[in-house]
Chain A
Amino acid sequence: MKVRCVLVLGGLFIAMSHIALATGGRMSLPKTIEAGSSFSIQTPGRGNAALFIIGTGQALKRDVQLGQTVFFAAGSLYNAGHYLAILEGDSFTETESLDVVPASKPSNLSFLAKPSRLPVGLHAGITGAVYVFDAYRNLISEAMPVSFELSDPMGTVQKRIVVTRYGAARTEMDSTAQQGVDSFVARVAGIKSTRVVGQVPGDPCGLKMNAEPSGQRIHLVTDAVRDCNGNAVPDGTIITFTETFSGYQSTIDEPLKHGIAQVTISAHNGAVLSVASGVVMGNQIRWEK
């Protein structure tokens, strides 16, 4: 037993001595580098070997003379993540690790603004989310302030500063009472991204029509249709005119044109005329002529 232990330990010692002799030490490399920056690896020993750098989404190979420094130019290693550096000679393999971290300077923003269209006067109706990337599209996880600005056509600006967490920042904005196209801007360290948010009128408010005879028919015309904030309801919105008389009913779905809707409908004495848009009811008129 004792003899066997001595033999095993002796073998291990000889093997370690052989590796140490071949390599003359260990690789020298930075533990962390910024994505896309230049770096070098000092190889130990003498002879020829192959150096592999393998990580998520990227792998490099260099044939090296042992004992020399291997230079990697800027942009060689650009995907952030954990990498293994493997030095492989004829009779040995040595492995070290290094981390590639995103560059600290932002270069790109992915700005998600939702929705792109919403009614006026909605509290926290608009959300903006920003993801900050470096020049190589690595998400920058280091905290940094993001400025969000929502400007309406009247020049009113809502502004929020949000610090990124794990590379993302999110905010909520209110839609204003004024319809139009808002500009939603996100800024980080001089980089900006712009989205447009359309603020559209809400449901018609105080829908009113007038009736007047037109030959044997009745001409029905609405007042200018507006929402409760005074914005003109857009053309194309359906206005439903209904005439009810003696158990009969006639309806016309008429789109708004130039802010108003108008139709002519058969005249029936005693008929009840009504107007609606979606679930919003307007006025009623009893036709007595």
Chain B
Amino acid sequence: MKKGHLLAFLFGASTVALILIGTEWPVPSAAAYAGGGSLLRSYSTPEAAASNLADEIRRQAWDKAYISLANKAQFTEQEFVHDITDFYPSLRTYATLESFEVAPLHESADDAEIRLKLHWSTVVGANVSTRDLHVTRNGDHWEVEWPISKEAIAPPQVIAVNYLRWDVIYRGPGDDWGIQDVEAPHVRIVDMHPVERAEGVVILGELLNEDVVPAYVSVTATLLSKSQSPIATEGSFDKISHLLLPKQVTPFLIEFPKVALSEVGSVHMVPASSLVAGSADPVIEIEGQQLNPAPGASLTGRLINQSGQVVNVAHVLGTFYDKGGQVVWVSDEYIDQALLPQTPVPFEIHIPQDLASKVSSQRTVVATYSSGGSQ
């Protein structure tokens, strides 16, 4: 009995002692994740200097990050912060840096080139941005030169906007059941094509709003076995442009993980649409679209916001066709910065390596969201 008491006392005392030691002298990683300090403190190598900077960005310790820069005389701390978080609200503004990778490209005794890959966590999923940093030696330590890209600002001007806007009055709760409600927009699937990928079956297609009013659309597909029993039901989620103006076409992609195409007897497609208020503004020009061949096959181009209002989030969807005009892939990219009026913003949509050789043409659409707007 006495032995048991002694053991309990020893366990209790050692626990208290460990808590005190951990609080007073925490390990660097624990302190960093608790927001109390950074993981690295040494600036003795170019990689360490770049890692330290990324660590300060992760902790949003902007003053420390700015002070550590070699070229801070070229811009203010505010400009540095806006370069990372964007001046106008956008995906970047609400993103947190999840992790980073540092890769040396070139190194000499006094300077080095480091590629910093930043893995952001955004409201629409993971986003990766890359910065090539020039790092210089300053005495016994290394400092990063931040490649600032200053905000392009459209000159002050008035842009007259007189595009159509649709408002909707829906049926009221007190109306008789025979009273008409506003008709849901008529939409039609104009192309549908199942393909087998390593991860499962993917349904690709295009949806047309054939009505004269804006439509909020989505597509659901159910895979049926050869005996017509349902295998799985999935929706297009965000692999579609949900708001379609009259006669606008959106691609869609629906994924069925872990399903083999050989199991599928037929596919039941359900396009859904509802009437929503909408605006024909803003108009986005997609300029200089180019299909880049493998390796690293992609579709690149620039978005130009032709309207006067800031577009906070832009979602670019690319539809890729083979020589016969059949859809072979649908891919997308969220632009992590706001689209300012008349200011080109580049985009790059990746095409799977094995499909790149089949792609003959493409069509790109942009879905936009402006805070305070419906689109």
- Measuring CB to CB, which residues of chain A are less than 8 angstroms from any residue of chain B? 109-117, 131, 193, 195-196, 200-201, 203-204, 233-239, 247-255, 257, 263, 265-266, 277-280
What is the minimal beta-carbon distance from A182 to any residue of chain B, in angstroms? 13
B96 within 8 A of A: no
Contact of B195 with A by CB under 8 A: no
Are B212 and A200 neighbours in the complex by a CB distance under 8 Å?
A: yes
Q: How far is the CA of A236 from the CA of B214 in the complex (A)?
A: 9
Contact A279 B176, beta carbon cutoff 8 Å: no
- Taking the nearest CB of chain B, how far is it from the CB of A79, in angstroms? 18
Contact A253 B365, beta carbon cutoff 8 Å: yes
List, in ascending order, chain B residues with CB within 8 A of A113's CB: 180
Does B328 touch A at the CB level, under 8 Å?
A: no
The chain B residue sitting closest to A266, CB to CB, is B287
Whether A252 contacts B286 by the Cβ 8 Å rule is yes
B324 at the interface (CB under 8 A from A): no
Contacts of A263 in B (CB 8 A): 285
Interface centre among B177, B190, B246, B287 (most CB of A within 10 A): B246
Partner of B180, one of A116, A249, A250: A116
Task: Report Cα–Cα, A112/B213, bound state, in Å.
Answer: 22
Kindly identify which residue among A109, A115, A235, A279 contacts B164, using a CB–CB cutoff of 8 Å.
A235
15 A/B residue pairs, CB under 8 Å, sorted by A: A116-B180, A117-B183, A195-B180, A201-B212, A233-B212, A236-B214, A237-B212, A238-B248, A250-B288, A250-B289, A250-B301, A253-B284, A277-B247, A278-B209, A278-B247
Q: Of all chain A residues, which has the CB nearest B292?
A: A247
Contact B285 A252 (CB under 8 A): yes
B224 proximal to A (CB < 8 A)? no
Instruction: State the Cβ distance, B304 to closest chain A Cβ, in Å.
Output: 9
Report yes or no: A248 in contact with B280, Cβ–Cβ below 8 A. no
The smallest C-beta distance from A235 to any residue of chain B, in angstroms, reads 5
Contact of B246 among A112, A234, A252, A280 (CB under 8 A): A234
Contact residue among B180, B208, B280, B365 (Cβ-Cβ distance under 8 Å from A279): B208
Q: Across the interface, do B183 and A116 meet the contact criterion of CB distance under 8 Å?
A: yes
Measured between beta carbons, the chain A residues less than 8 angstroms from B291 are: 247
CB nearest neighbor in B for A202: B210
**B31 interface contact, C-beta 8 A:** no
Query: Given A111-B178, A112-B178, A278-B248: A252 and B212 within 8 A (CB)?
Result: no
User: Please, how many angstroms separate the alpha-carbon atoms of A235 and B246 in the complex?
Assistant: 9
A-B pair number, CB within 8 angstroms: 104
Closest 3 CB pairs of A and B: A110-B178, A255-B280, A278-B247
A251 and B289 contact, CB distance less than 8 A: yes
Whether a CB of chain A sits under 8 angstroms from the CB of B267 is no
Q: B363 contacts which chain A residues (CB < 8 A)?
A: 251
A277 CA / B301 CA spacing, docked (Å): 22
B residues 291-325 with Cβ under 8 Å of A? 291, 301, 306
Return the contact of A236 from the options B176, B182, B280, B306 (Cβ within 8 A).
Answer: B280
Contacting pair B178 A131 (CB below 8 A): yes
* B274 adjacent to chain A (CB < 8 Å): no
Cα A204 to Cα B226 in complex, Å, equals 41
B362 touches A (CB below 8 Å): yes
- Set B162, B247, B283, B286: member contacting A237, Cβ < 8 A: B247
For the complex, what is the distance from the CA of A104 to the CA of B283, rounded to whole Å? 60
Q: Which residue of A lies closest to B299 (CB)?
A: A249
- Within the complex, what minimum Cβ distance (angstroms) separates A269 from chain B? 16
Bound Cα distance A69, B291 (Å) = 94
Q: Which of these, B164, B181, B208, B289, contacts A255 with CB under 8 Å?
A: B164
Q: Is B211 on the interface with A (CB-CB < 8 A)? A: yes
Shortest A193–chain B CB gap in Å is 8
Does the CB pair B210–A278 fall under 8 Å?
Answer: yes
A238-B248, A252-B283 known; A247 vs B290 contact (CB < 8 Å):
yes
Interface residues of B in 186-211 (CB under 8 A from A): 190, 208-211
Contact B365 A278 (CB under 8 A): no
Q: Which of B162, B164, B289, B306 contacts A249 (CB 8 A)?
A: B289
Does B330 touch A at the CB level, under 8 Å?
no
The docked-state distance in angstroms from the alpha carbon of A257 to that of B280 is: 10
Closest to A265 in B: B285
| B46-69 with Cβ < 8 A to chain A | none
Q: Does B364 contact A (CB under 8 A)?
A: yes
A233 to B212, alpha carbons, bound, how many Å?
A: 8
Q: Quick check: A250 and B285 within 8 Å, CB to CB?
A: yes
- In the assembly, what is the distance between CA of A247 and CA of B360, in Å? 11
Q: Does B33 contact A (CB under 8 A)?
A: no
A115 touches B183 (CB 8 A): yes
Counting chain B CB atoms within 10 Å of each CB, the highest count among A111, A250, A263 belongs to A250
B contact residues around A196 at 8 Å (CB): 180
Complex Cα–Cα for A114 and B245 (A): 23
Determine the distance from Cα of A238 to Cα of B278 in the docked complex, in whole angstroms: 13
Asked whether A236 lies within 8 Å of B245 as measured between CB atoms, the reply is yes
Give chain B residues whose Cβ lies under 8 Å from the Cβ of A109.
Answer: 178
How far in angstroms is the closest Cβ of chain A from B373?
Answer: 15
Please name 7 further chain A to chain B contacts, defined as beta carbons within 8 Å, in addition to the given A112-B180, A251-B289, A279-B208, sorted by A numbering. Answer: A115-B183, A196-B180, A236-B245, A247-B291, A250-B289, A251-B363, A252-B285
Residue of B nearest to A116 (CB): B183
B180 and A236 contacting across the interface, CB-CB below 8 Å: no
- Contact between B290 and A248 (Cβ–Cβ < 8 Å)? yes
Q: How far is the CB of B8 from chain A (nearest CB, A)?
A: 74
- The distance in angstroms between the C-alpha atoms of A199 and B247, with both chains bound, is 16
